[in-house]
Structure formats: structure tokens, C-alpha cells
Amino acid sequence: MQMLLHANSLLLLAPTTSRLSASASPGRSGTARPLPPPQGHAHSARAAARGTRRPPAVAAASPRTPMAVGEECAAAVASQGFVSDARAYWVTRSLIAWNVNDQDTSLFLYASRDATMHVSDGAIHGYDSKIELEPEHASLPDNVAEKFPFIRSYRTFRVPSSVDVASLVKCQLAVASYDAHGRHQDVTGLQLPGVLDDMFAYTGPLGAVFSDKDVDLYLWAPTAQDVRVCFYDGPAGPLLQTVQLKELNGVWSVTVPRYRENQYYLYEVKVYHPSTSQVEKCLADDPYARGLSANGTRTWLVDINSETLKPASWDELSDEKPNLESFSDISIYELHIRDFSAHDSTVDCNSRGGFRAFTFQDSAGIRHLRKLSAAGLTHVHLLPSFHFASVDDNKSNWKFVDEAQLAKLPPGSDEQQAAIVSIQQEDPYNWGYDPVLWGVPKGSYASNPDGPSRIIEYRQMVQALNRIGLRVVMDVVYNHLDSSGPFGVSSVLDKIVPGYYLRRNVNGQIENSAAMNNTASEHFMVDRLIVDDLLNWAINYKVDGFRFDLMGHIMKSTMIRAKSAIRSLTRDVHGVDGSKIYLYGEGWDFGEVAQNKRGINASQINMSGTGIGSFNDRIRDSVNGGNPFGNPLQQGFSTGLFLEPNGYYQGNEADTRRELATYADHIQIGLAGNLKDYVLRTHTGEAKKGSDIYTFDGSPVGYTSSPVETINYVSAHDNETLFDIVSIKTPIGLSIDEKCRINHLASSMIALSQGIPFFHAGDEILRSKSLDRDSYNSGDWFNKLDFTYETNNWGVGLPPRDKNEENWHLIKPRLENPSFRPLKNHILSVFDNFVDILKIRYSSPLFRLSTASDIEQRVRFHNTGPSMVPGVIVMSIKDAQNEKCKMAQLDKNFSYVVTIFNVCPHEVSIEIHDLASLGLELHPIQVNSSDALVRQSAYEASKGRFTVPRRTTAVFVQPRC
């Protein structure tokens, strides 16, 4: 190591500990013009209120095994006597930044390879080297500030060019500042991602690369002092051999004989770990693992291209992919793998709840999906299916409740939830938003968590769904990781390059606004790992789309790179057509990344123009009312605001009416693809662009440049199901038949919107979670899906206390009220209507316009302005009337479509002069509907008069002759 040594060791004081945290103050982008909330109404102004934040999915998880089973790791010694924060940034190989104020401050860098530094008696002891840094710019140079915008104003100091930086980054490091008189001011640790990216950004091979005779192993670990690989005999067998790796430019590698294939291995990384201030020997899985043992205790050395892992005709699956012409043709059904079959008695017991359940072609669940597919549904989105922490892979450890006993308890009892909660850490249920390793399917969903089953069965699942006409979306969670630190089987990346993969605040603490250890895609190798991982799923599992959890916590540049890497996949070269793979995610803008503080993040508004979708909370909150963080009784457009008040709202009639009209404006923008440039005549009579219309907390409603950038939805796995929303918001006395109509109305606004419609599994069959607002760990019991259509899971007990107790007083009387419970015929009729509305969407390309200009040209709203009839939205979509028209002809059957959403509790007759004298008639699917009311909808051409029964969505078409 080449070092500059300073003669004397200077006196130092203990570090100051009470620094301001960098955590973002709540508040949304300041650019929007806020609209004051109507009086007396409790609209949340909170930053995150737009969307939904992730729950800590393993909040009370049992203590993890402290280290991989049977392995030894150097014991941790508490970081006594050494700085535990890291407020300085090593931003490039030659620059260190720190927010010291005084111009005359001088800085010294201290390093100790064995981590023997400590501060005692006011001095730093135990360092190997001490380097004087030269004061540089007053603030960060522009190119560096772009990468670190939040420390733009820090002062920079130059690292002498003679210093061996590559060696230094492997050491325990500290910088100390001194005033002009040489008096010590402050001391702190360093954050290294900047210098690591500058020196070690790497694009070569990683993981295991198989050739005929050998396997090359590559691990990126520039701060490691030593790396070995330990090979084991089987997933739990003894150590076979330990092999040394060699380092070149931060990448450690070794070539081992091919006979190692199918053995299990772990890396032993000797590295300084800032969380313990020690050099640790960490045992970690391969970040590029393609196979794992149960619980991920070891990496399985597997050639993912091996023939033995392929289900029959796997290589030909690309030929069997359901047709997809345009992303605007997509509709999405969001499904949890366990929910799909846990209660399906037509699936073999041993396959229930896992990947294999999807291969039972005649199960109740598959028959249900087939009906949706036949109606036009294109994609099934599966909740997390990679290796996550919160469910034990070993089935013999699972605990279950006695469901038959629970079923005997009263509907509003608190005993069911008590039973569920008592085993919730040991049952097989969790949503799985707690990633450990992104690249391998979750073992608990496989018949055997060791070896090949999880790979083969995942592929069979994709194949089975594709074969019933459904493409498969994978829910990816790159925004955070379950664990960090040198210990524990669920920490992987942070064992290999400590502090690099995770995003830290200006004190050096790991950010956790995403409810876990947030990752930092602004760092080169994190960005790379994300893109590589997506390609792994796209190529090796032929996944057809990706949904990004808390996408706003990922950088926009990562999303763009991911998109172009995926789009460049071709059937000839990669076996899959990347141009058919769709990307979307949660674009909420909150936490440390909000307002571009860590770089341009993938937030809703930033993503405009990228062709990547984001969840549209505007239409969700307007249809339902309020937002998922507000009072559950807040009503919305479909749930009775103004038209059928539930007594919650205290404002006067004019205010309520205005709010209903405001919601109607937001919904109409949503129906028009949530385009920022779509011009709507609002309830005030002014013509405004979508981006000039604001939500109650001051965000622009319209933000997309293309309809494929909005995911329109009213319910998802987060928060109550649609039926539960309707049940809590509508007035107590409303009959179940009317609730069913409202459920359908809300679904139909989504199903007939421009953009990508998204449905939570079960919304079409009145699925209830008994009003659980966050069922991530509520077991099979509260998450039940019943594809026999006998029950909808309403009134199966009070939902778990932890997340719902504050609302139990609202929930209990409803669960106990027999009139809230639907019968099988209600479930079936809602399902029938849902299938019909999907068929209507797919009966005409006019409902699936693919560009903004098509929508701007063709979609019109008619019941607008101050004299609008409250509770009625009239939307027309025009096609070229004949071939000679300037507008392209899209639909060969219909030349005009008019959709009327009437949420009023009474029939409405409305005259629209612009729509007079047309050849409109009720859509043929509705003419044959099993819903007697919709069949009564009528159009009188001479006056342009539409008559639509109460709480009905009626679609009229003008057939071509």
C-alpha cells in the first residue's frame, strides 16, 4: 500500500453525534398549484397519501439464524470507540466531499486495514496511514453534483494522486477536520459508492459462467480483502472444499472444474464492515445466484440453460405466446400465487398454494382464469415470486389454523384474527415484499425448495398461463432489501460490498422510507444488477411483463436502461420477443428520493414520455372517494357522494355537489388515458388540459404522454378490496343488490378507460377480506379467494388488530349485519357483468386507442360544465365514418361508441344534442346481458336522448352498415 504518512498524530475530540438527518420533509413537488380542499373535508395532505406505502412485511419476524447454518463468521465486536456515522463522501477517485463550513478547514484521511482505529483520550489511534487532503472547489463539480445532488454544496478536498486508492477502499476509513490553528473540529466515516463507481464500474461477466469443461465464477467486491468460495455436498451437507479467488480491478474470479455443477456454494468475503467497525468474514450467497437451497442458505451451482430444467417444449414457448399487438391492448389481473389455489379443492393437496397449481388445467381457478381470458383479459400479474424472507421454505415447519373451527365463530368476532396472528410468522402466507435475492424463484412455492423444482415449476407456471391465453407479469421489488449487515442468511449484497447497495442518509444510516433497507439504483452496480436481473427473468423464465414495486424509489435512468435492454431481446437470439414485454410500477414520489433529491427518480410525473406505466391513484381516489390514508367513510363518485350520503360529510350541498363534479373531472381525464394534454371542459365550464387540473392535494391529475403510461385501477392488494370499499363507504341501509351494482360500476369505469385497466383478483366476484386494509400477513384466512362462487369471504371475523383496530368500531357492525353478505347469485351476476364489460372493451379497438393524438381526436365528454347532471359521465369515441374520412378507420364494426356511467340511485334521462341523429343502439353484449336493468337503457336519435337505469354502465354503438 502506498501511503502518505503524517508525522504527528493530532489530538481529536469524540465525534459529534447529533447531526440533522437527511430524511426528506414531507411535501409534494412544489410546482403544482394547490386547490383548497372543500370545507369540512378531511383530505390528507401527506406526501405519501397519493399512493400506498409498503408495510414492513416482516415487522415482527422471529429472530433469524444469526449466520448461515453450520458456518462460521468472525465474531462481531461492537463498534466501541470508533466513529459510527459516515458524513463524508468519497465521490470520485480524487475527491472527498464534506459539509465543513470554514474555508480554512484542513482535512486528513485515516486508514486502518485491520480496523484497529479508535478514538480515545481525544485522539485517533491505531491507523496505518494518515493522508493530508488539499482543499479544492467550494462545492461539487457539476458532473459529480449530478450524481450527488443532495450534497451539491459540500466542500471538496483532493486526494493526492500518489495515493493507492484501490488499497485504501479496503480499509477502515475516517476523515478528520482541523481549523487554521490545527485544532480538531470533527471526525467521521466515509461513504464510498462514488469512488467505487468511478474506479470499479464493471460490465463484464458476473456469477457462474459455464463452459464445456469449466465453470468461471465472478464476484464484484472491490472493498473485499479476500474472497474464497466454499463448496458443500448438498444443500445441508458438509463442506467439501474452499477455493481462493483472485482479484482484478475489483472483480474476484476463479475457474473450477465442471464437476462442481449442482454442488452448493457460498462466498466467504473478508471485508471491512462499517456496521460493526470490524473486518468480518461474511458468508454470502452469490448475488447472481440462479439456484438456491431452502431458505437461501446456500447457492446452488446450476446452469440455468441445462436441458434437465426445461419443461416439455419450453424452447418453443415463444411460438405459443398469446398474441399482443399493442401495449394498449393489455388488461391486468393482479394475483397472489397462494391465494390462487390455497382453497381450491380441485387442485391436488400437495400443489395447492404453489407454482404447480397453475398446471391443473381443469381446476376451478384455471376455469375462472380461462373465462377472463376468453373475455379478453391479457395479463396475470403475480405478486412477488422471487426469494423473499418472510415465509419459511421448509413446509414441514409451517403452522396452520383449524379453519373449520374458525368458520364456526361469529362474523364480528376478534377470535379469528387472534388465531391467525398467533401463527402469522410461521404460516406459509406473506405477500413477499421483503426480497433477499432477486434472481431465483421463491422456494416456498415449489414442491421442493432445494434443487431444480423451483426453476422447473416456475417455468411450468408461465407455460400453463400462456397456454390459456394469459401473459405473465412478475412483481419485482428492487427498491429495498429485507436485511443488511454481515450476519444472517437474509443479508446478501451488504455482506459483499458493505454500504454500497443500500441508500444512506447524510449521516450514513440506511434509508428506510420504503419500509425496509432501501437500495440505491443511482449506484452503477445496483443499476446493473437490476437490469441483469430483469433480463434473467425475461429470458430464462419468459416472463412477459414487470411491475415495479415503489418504482419512484428507483432512478428513471435505471428504468429507461431496463426498458431498452428488454426491448432489444429477440426471439432469434434470446428466445423471447422483448418488444412485447411491458413495464409499469408505482410512481409515488416520497421519502429521500422525492423531488429528484437523489437524481431524477421514476415518479409518475417524471415518467411521462417513457412508455412505462404508473399506477393512477387519481382515478382510484375519485371513483372510491378519499384516499387510502384518509377516513374510510369518505365517499367518492361511485360510492354515493352527494347522491346517497352516508352521514360522514358535514359540508353543505353546494360543496358536496362541487366535489362530486371535481371527481367527475378527474375520472374523465383518467378515462382519456390520464393524458396531460387532453383538454376537458371542467365542471366550472373552463377548458383545461389534464395537467392543469389538480387533485385535492395539489398534484396535476393528468400526467401521461401516452395511454400506455397509465395503469387505471380502483383496488389492488394494498388496502381494502373493491367490495370492502363499497361496503364501508355506502350508507348502512343500502341493499346488497345495489352494492353489487356499484361494484360493477367502479370496475366498468376501469374496464372502459383508455390506458391499461388493472383489477385486483376477486374484484369481479365480490372478494372481501372482511375489511382488512393491509392483508400482507393475514394468512390464507383473510385472503381467501373462492372460485366455487359460494362465498366472498365477508364476515369471517374482525380483520387483524394491528392494522385495523382503529376502525373496528366501523367494521364490526357491518360484518355482523346479515344484509351485507352476498349470496352466490350476487357473486355470479357481478361476475357475468364483469365478463361482459371486458368483452365490450375487446369488442372495439376504440376502447384501446394506442396514442395520445388518437384519444385527443376521438374521445369526447358531453355532460360537462356547470349545468352537468350530477353523477353521470357521457363519453363518446368516434371512428372514421367511412373510408374517405381524414381520420383513420380503426373499427370495422362500429363507427361510434357512447358510454354512459350513471352512478345515480335513480334512472337518468339526458339529452346530448351533439349525439343526436346517430344510429346508436345498445351494445349487442348488453342486449343479451343477464342484468335486466342494463337492457332497459335506451337512445332516442331525434333528440339525442339517452335513458339509463340507476347505477348502470350502458354502452351504445353505431354499427357500420
Ligand X SMILES: *[C@@H]1O[C@H](CO)[C@@H](O)[C@H](O)[C@H]1NC(C)=O
Stretch that binds ligand X, among 149-157, 301-309, 392-400, 740-748 (CB under 6 A): 392-400
Active site residue 164: no
884's CB contacts (< 8 A; 6+ apart) are: none
Q: Using the rule CB under 6 A, is 774 a contact of ligand X? A: yes
Pick the closer one to ligand X by CB: 417 or 791: 417
CB of 283 to ligand X, least distance (A): 13
Question: Binding string to ligand X for residues 709 to 748, with x set by CB under 6 A, is what?
Answer: ---------xx-----------------------------
Does 811 sit near ligand X (CB under 6 A)? Answer: no
Binding window for ligand X (CB under 6 A); candidates: 48-56, 157-165, 725-733, 836-844: 48-56
**Phi and psi at residue 888, to the nearest 5°:** -70, 145
Tell me if 295 contacts ligand X by CB under 6 A. yes
Task: State the nearest-atom distance from the C-beta of 728 to ligand X, in Å.
Answer: 10
Task: Decide: helix, strand or coil at residue 566.
Answer: helix
Q: How many residues bind ligand X (CB under 6 A)?
A: 33
Q: Is 413 in the site for ligand X (CB under 6 A)?
A: no
Q: Assess contact for 385 and 441: CB atoms under 8 A.
A: yes
The minimum distance between CB 358 and ligand X, in angstroms, equals 23
Please, are residues 225 and 171 in contact by the beta-carbon 8 Å criterion?
Answer: no
Nearest to 613 by CA among 569, 582, 567: 582
CB nearer to ligand X: give 285 or 392. 392
Chain Cα centroid distance, residue 497: 25
| CB of 614 vs ligand X, minimal distance in Å | 17
Q: Closer CB to ligand X, residue 777 or residue 791?
A: 777
Minimum CB distance to ligand X, residue 307 (Å): 26
CB of 941 to ligand X, least distance (A): 47
- Among residues 116, 241, 509, 512, which is the contact residue for ligand X, using CB under 6 A? 512
Binding range to ligand X, per CB under 6 A, among 393-401, 686-694, 824-832, 839-847: 393-401
- 427-466: contacts with ligand X (CB under 6 A): 450
Q: For residues 272 and 486, what is the distance between their CA atoms, to the nearest angstrom?
A: 10
Helix (H) or strand (E) holding 839: helix 824-843
Q: What's the min distance (Å) between Cβ of 454 and ligand X?
A: 13
Q: Which of 54, 723, 64, 722 is nearest to 383 (CA)?
A: 54
- C-alpha span between 812 and 414 (Å, rounded): 9
Q: Say if residues 563 and 527 touch (Cβ distance below 8 Å).
A: no
Least distance in angstroms from the C-beta of 701 to ligand X: 21
CB of 642 to ligand X, least distance (A): 22
Pick 37 or 56: Cβ nearer ligand X: 56
Of 339, 393, 427, 549, catalytic? 549
The catalytically annotated residue of 186, 511, 586, 879 is: 586
Nearest approach, Cβ of 336 to ligand X (angstroms)? Answer: 14
Query: Which residues lie below 8 Å from residue 906, measured CB to CB, with a gap of 6+?
Result: 950
For 274, residues 6+ apart whose C-beta sits below 8 A from its C-beta are 86, 189, 498, 499, 508
- Does 517 contact ligand X by CB under 6 A? yes
Q: What is the DSSP string of 347-368?
A: S-GGGTTSGGGGG-TTSHHHHH
Residue 543 contacts residue 476 (beta carbons within 8 Å): no
Q: Does 628 bind ligand X (CB under 6 A)?
A: yes
Smallest gap from Cβ 142 to ligand X, in A, equals: 34
Q: Which CB, 549 or 659, lies closer to ligand X?
A: 549
Count of alpha carbons within 13 angstroms of residue 60, beta-carbon side: 9
**Backbone torsions φ then ψ of 670, nearest 5 degrees:** -60, -45
Candidate residues 385, 491, 616, 829; the one interacting with ligand X per rule CB under 6 A: 491
Among 516, 619, 641, 838, binds ligand X (CB under 6 A): 516
Backbone angles phi, psi at 627, to 5 degrees: -160, 170
Q: Which parts of 83-142 interact with ligand X (CB under 6 A)?
A: none
Q: Is 867 in the site for ligand X (CB under 6 A)?
A: no
Rounded CA-CA distance 170/114 in Å is 10
Binding status of residue 294 toward ligand X by CB under 6 A: yes
Residue 746's nearest CA partner among 760, 735, 733 is 760
Residue pair 713/618 in contact by the 8 Å Cβ criterion: no
Residue 787: how many other CB atoms lie within 10 Å: 20
Q: In angstroms, rounded to a whole number, what is the distance separating the alpha carbons of residues 621 and 674?
A: 14
Cα three-residue angle 404-409-410, rounded to 5 degrees: 145
Residue 396 engages ligand X in binding (rule: CB under 6 A)? yes
Q: Is 586 a catalytic residue?
A: yes
Site pattern 348..387 for ligand X (x: CB under 6 A): ----------------------------------------
Q: Which of 411, 488, 636, 707 binds ligand X (CB under 6 A)?
A: 488
Q: Which is nearer to ligand X, 210 or 648 (CB)?
A: 648
Spell out the residues 6+ positions from residue 563 whose beta carbon is closer than 8 angstroms to its own.
Answer: 583, 610, 611, 612
115: left (phi over 0), alpha (psi -120 to 50) or beta: left
**Please, which residue, 141 or 630, has the CB nearer to ligand X?**
630
What angle do the packed helices 193-200 and 524-540 form, to 10 degrees?
Answer: 70
Q: Which stretch binds ligand X (CB under 6 A): 317-325, 351-359, 484-492, 663-671?
A: 484-492
Residues between 50 and 79 that touch ligand X (CB under 6 A): 52-53, 55-56, 62, 65, 69
Is the Cβ of residue 294 or residue 680 nearer to ligand X in the bound state? 294
Q: Site residues for ligand X, window 141-160 (CB under 6 A)? A: none
The backbone torsions φ and ψ at residue 712, rounded to the nearest 5 degrees and listed phi first, read -85, 130
Nearer to ligand X, 390 or 662 (CB): 390
Which residues, 6 or more positions from 654, have their beta carbon under 8 angstroms from its beta carbon? none
Instruction: Give catalytic residue positions.
Output: 549, 586
**Which residues sit at the interface with ligand X, rule CB under 6 A?**
52-53, 55-56, 62, 65, 69, 294-295, 297, 389-392, 394, 396-397, 450, 483-485, 488-489, 491, 512, 516-517, 628-629, 718-719, 773-774
